[in-house]
């Protein structure tokens, strides 16, 4: 049988050759192969240096995961498996193995797309890519997050265990906003994540959030206003209307999902619950009526730690802006971050015009109350791959 690189497409073959284990151990992030415009790379900010990551051999990856032992499997999706591991130097890692036939073009494209997005990101609130392996199969190696995802910390605690406190929740909201604002504005690549949700935000030992799982991410060159994507992928209950109906993707797609994420942090409810009712459908009337305390997780309201009423009002206000049906009227992540970090809230600045008679783009049409999803399989992308809780669905 031919080696993998001899059976691959031209662009993928060149990458495999450049990342051969016999070549340099540390490499620069590769150019993105999806985009046809060569000028886009030249338009990237000149001051930002390419991130570097390691090219691991198969033996290193195999040894780190104990031979891909079943006990080390921490997540599985339709196109990948994720294993906990430890490198020879003691670093804890999560190894994401892309599944499928060895010559599958979709698998190669997904591998290159993820390298072309997270491989260019360097920020405290973005989970770092440590390296990859193209020896025998396709692997991405990330830092491992032992504290798990935000979703696991909100929903998977033992009965009677203390809930995540308000201070931690607000810190997660601000930190995640910083990471997302960086992806949209600060990174040399303008990255749209497309699957922002609590199970894709991991927590460091000191509860700093890190955005993970770039399996659905796309990047937008400066001269593009949006991208049209097919098929529609993501998580029900978090999909922006313009993406769900027309496949339109830009920064405001992530802003909408971030609004749902804020509601999940506040309420301690999943985007879609076991009765198929959406968090957004439940929360929207409370947001419209300004009933902030009714939005809060009862475990916080009744707990000894309490909550900061002003911060709760800010989160509710920002969430209400982010989940607006019209992308035009949503804030940018820069504006979101300013509001969360304490800029004065001027409600008149964000007032929307009265809808015209017969206007069918009302706010209430996107409640997602009648979803037909199956328990754990409410998304068509890959799971959050980097923590002990990565198998959770939302």
Reading the chain (394 residues) residue by residue, the pLDDT tens digits are 444 443 455 555 555 555 444 444 555 555 444 443 333 333 444 445 556 789 999 999 999 999 999 999 988 876 789 999 999 999 999 999 987 665 577 788 888 888 888 888 999 999 999 999 998 889 999 999 888 999 999 998 766 678 899 999 999 999 999 999 999 999 988 899 999 999 999 999 999 999 998 988 988 767 666 777 777 787 888 999 998 888 889 999 999 999 999 999 999 999 998 788 899 999 999 999 999 999 999 999 887 778 999 999 999 999 999 999 999 999 999 999 999 998 888 888 888 887 665 554 444 444 444 333 333 333 333 345 454 433 333 4
Tell whether 96 is in a known binding site.
yes
pLDDT at 131: 94
Q: Residue 336's closest CA among 170, 181, 208?
A: 181
- Residue 29: the pLDDT is 53
pLDDT at 26: 56
**Hey, CA dihedral for 12, 18, 23, 28, is it positive or negative?**
negative
Q: What superfamily would CATH give domain 150-366?
A: Transferase(Phosphotransferase) domain 1 (1.10.510.10)
The predicted pLDDT at position 372 comes to 38
pLDDT in the model for residue 229: 74
pLDDT of residue 224: 67
In angstroms, rounded to a whole number, what is the distance separating the alpha carbons of residues 177 and 206?
Answer: 17
What is the per-residue pLDDT for 22?
A: 42
Helices (H) and strands (E) in the chain, counts: 13, 13
The predicted pLDDT at position 160 comes to 63
- Whole-number Å distance between alpha carbons of 167 and 265: 11
- Output DSSP code: residue 23: S
State how far the Cα of 261 lies from the Cα of 271, in Å rounded to an integer: 8
* Model pLDDT, residue 163: 87
Q: Please tell me the predicted confidence (pLDDT) of residue 69.
A: 95
- Chain region(s) in the chain for CATH 3.30.200.20: 4-143
Catalytic residues: 195
Helices (H), ranges, the chain: 10-18, 39-42, 58-64, 105-118, 150-155, 166-181, 241-246, 251-267, 279-288, 292-295, 298-302, 309-322, 333-340
Which residues in the chain are classed under CATH 1.10.510.10?
150-366
pLDDT score recorded for residue 33: 42
Query: What is the distance between the alpha carbons of residues 81 and 101, in angstroms, rounded to a whole number?
Result: 14
At 378 the pLDDT is: 37
Q: 21, 23, 111, 33: which is closest to 58 by C-alpha?
A: 21
What was the pLDDT predicted at 343?
A: 87
Class of domain 4-143: alpha beta
């Amino acid at each position: 049988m031919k080696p993998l690189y001899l059976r691959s497409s031209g662009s993928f073959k060149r990458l495999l050759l450049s990342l051969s284990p016999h070549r340099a151990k540390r490499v620069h992030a590769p150019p993105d192969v999806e985009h046809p415009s060569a000028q886009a790379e030249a338009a990237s900010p000149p001051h930002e240096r390419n991130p570097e990551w390691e090219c691991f051999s198969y033996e290193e990856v195999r040894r780190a995961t104990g031979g891909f032992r079943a006990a080390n499997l921490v997540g599985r999706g339709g196109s990948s498996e994720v294993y906990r591991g430890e490198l020879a130097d003691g670093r804890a890692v999560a190894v994401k193995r892309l599944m499928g036939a060895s010559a599958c073009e979709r698998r190669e494209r997904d591998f290159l797309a993820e390298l072309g997005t997270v491989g260019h990101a360097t920020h405290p609130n973005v989970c770092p890519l440590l390296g990859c392996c193209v020896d025998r199969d396709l692997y991405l190696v990330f830092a491992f997050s032992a504290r798990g995802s935000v979703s696991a910390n909100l929903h998977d605690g033992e009965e009677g265990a203390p809930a995540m406190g308000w201070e931690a929740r607000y810190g997660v909201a601000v930190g995640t906003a910083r990471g997302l604002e960086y992806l949209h504005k600060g990174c040399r690549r303008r990255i749209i994540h497309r699957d922002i949700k609590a199970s894709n935000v991991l927590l460091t030992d000191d509860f700093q959030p890190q955005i993970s799982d770039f399996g659905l991410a796309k990047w937008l060159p400066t001269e593009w206003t949006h991208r049209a994507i097919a098929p529609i992928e993501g998580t029900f209950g978090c999909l922006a209307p313009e993406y769900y109906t027309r496949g339109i993707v830009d920064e405001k797609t992530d802003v909408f999902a971030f609004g749902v994420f804020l509601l999940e942090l506040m309420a301690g409810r999943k985007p879609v619950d076991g009765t198929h009712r959406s968090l957004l459908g439940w929360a929207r009337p409370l947001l419209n009526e300004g009933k902030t305390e009714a939005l809060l997780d009862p475990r916080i309201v009744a707990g000894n730690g309490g909550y900061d009423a002003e911060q709760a009002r800010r989160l509710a206000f920002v969430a209400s802006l982010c989940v607006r049906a019209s992308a035009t009227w949503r804030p940018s992540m820069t504006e979101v971050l300013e509001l969360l970090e304490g800029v004065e809230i001027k409600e008149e600045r964000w007032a929307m015009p009265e809808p015209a008679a017969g206007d069918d783009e009302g706010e209430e049409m996107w409640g997602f109350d009648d979803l037909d999803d199956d328990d754990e399989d409410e998304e068509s992308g890959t799971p959050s791959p980097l923590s002990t809780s990565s198998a959770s669905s939302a």
